[in-house]
Amino acid sequence: MNIKTRLLLMNFLEFFVWGSWLISLGGYMIVTLHFTGGEVGAVYATMGIASLFMPALMGIVADRWVNAERVLGVLHVIGALLLFWASTVTDYRTFYLIMLLNSMAFMPTIALNNTVSYIVLEKKGFDIVKDFPPIRVWGTIGFIAAMWMVDILGWTKSPLQLYISAIAGLVLGVYSFTISKCTPIKDTGRKTLASSLGLDAFVLFKRRKMIIFFIFAMLLGAALQITNAFGGAFLDDFKTGYADSFGVQHPNLLLSISQISETLFILTIPFFLRRFGIKQVMLMSILAWVFRFGLFAIGDPGHGLYLLVLSMIIYGMAFDFFNISGSLFVEKESDIKIRASAQGLFMLMTNGIGAFLGGTLSGWVVDYFTVDGIKNWQHIWFSFAGYAVVLAVVFPLVFRYKHVKAMNN
């Protein structure tokens, strides 16, 4: 099996593990475990809490002491065991604690998966910007495959979704140890205090363009959390007037169009990065979020279904052009000795601080436009679209970056 195929399988399993439960766990907790909405939200918030420190911490470990592929493998095995345990638990407090521990194990693996892919491709002489996106696209395919599998087999309200995720995580954990070695770069020079503490990646904040980049990555991470947290609830509220519509009958299939769109836009990233550079690509992502939220505001599962479908399609650009492109940009701008830490820092800003802010602040917006239990989704989504418009206006004014074609800047 050639190295690209091996990395393809690793990326497929990485996101299969997540896709098995991320979309459907809320329904399982509400319908089967009878958790409250607040308890469900708290469980999902564990991912943001874990991302505040675990990706950066595990990145430091991979940069300084332990091979990145081994850290990846150990974390997946731990996460798998925790999910097996979670599938047997029915009380909220224990379930919350297990899912928090699972988030602490799983969330760092997203950045480590990228780091291992970058290191292995580079060792084999491949162009990361050109060759990684076609490999990473299989991660999204893995997510879709898991989501459809759980939905079609009728496991969305069953603990079996956690079993499937745990089995996949265990397989990936063992498989990771067979990947080409990604050893830490030995540094024989004099160490600073930051280096001794493993905080090398934070030197990126000394550069103005990186500070601004990370701030906007955080703000776009907040936008991602908004759609993750309320996309399903939005569709569910159409049951009153559109109970027999496709969007209400098959919300998971409708939402999966977003992931299918991801697979297409990931493949365009090398072209857009080389042709336009990270500044223009990030701006495209921000504008895509404007349309994502705006189309949600005016769409419905009836005659307006095509607007919801368009929103799902545009999601691919909104997500990939800041998440995947941003990861590649951080890899390019970071010293080889801090590559894992830098990816962890990117995760901290997007899936950590960004997700926490997005979940918290968007919850306030939803509550503000909720009267007697009825949510005014049009006002809610237009508010989020307005947020994205502000980002689109400010970003090109403050992010100074001169692009030279073929990423030679």
Structural domain spans, the chain: 1-183, 199-409
pLDDT of residue 370: 83
Which candidate, 225, 237, 232, places its Cα nearest to that of 254? 232
pLDDT of residue 199: 56
Average pLDDT over residues 324-343: 82
Q: Phi, psi (5° rounding) for residue 15? A: -95, -15
Q: Among the listed ranges 29-38, 75-84, 148-157, 394-403, which one has the minimum average pLDDT value?
A: 29-38
Distance CA 237, CA 88 (A): 30
For 29-92, give the DSSP string. Answer: IIIIS---HHHHHHHHHHHHHHHTTHHHHHHHHHHHTS-HHHHHHHHHHHHHHHHHHHTT--SH
Range list of H helices, 177-304: 193-196, 208-236, 239-242, 246-249, 251-298
Q: 214: exposed, middle or buried (C-beta count within 10 Å: 0-12, 13-18, 19+)? A: buried
pLDDT of residue 213: 92
- Evaluate if residue 346 carries a pLDDT over 90: no
Q: Residue 38's Cα: distance from chain center in Å?
A: 22
pLDDT of residue 81: 98
pLDDT grade for 16, boundaries at 50, 70 and 90: very high
Beta carbons within 10 angstroms of residue 239's beta carbon = 14
% residues pLDDT > 70 (the chain)? 93
- Report the CATH architecture of 199-409: Up-down Bundle (1.20)
% residues pLDDT > 90 (the chain)? 44
Q: What is the pTM of this model?
A: 0.77
Question: Are 221 and 347 within 8 A, CB to CB?
Answer: no
Q: Residue 185's Cα: distance from chain center in Å?
A: 27
Same-fold call for 1-183 versus 199-409: yes
Distance CA 259, CA 319 (A): 10
- Evaluate if residue 405 carries a pLDDT over 70: no
pLDDT digits 0-9 by tens, 190-248? 555 455 444 567 778 888 888 999 999 999 998 887 777 677 678 777 877 888 887 77
Superfamily covering domain 1-183: MFS general substrate transporter like domains (1.20.1250.20)
Residue 173 is encoded by which pair of tokens?
A: 């954990």
Distance CA 298, CA 305 (A): 10
Q: Phi, psi (5° rounding) for residue 371? A: -125, 125
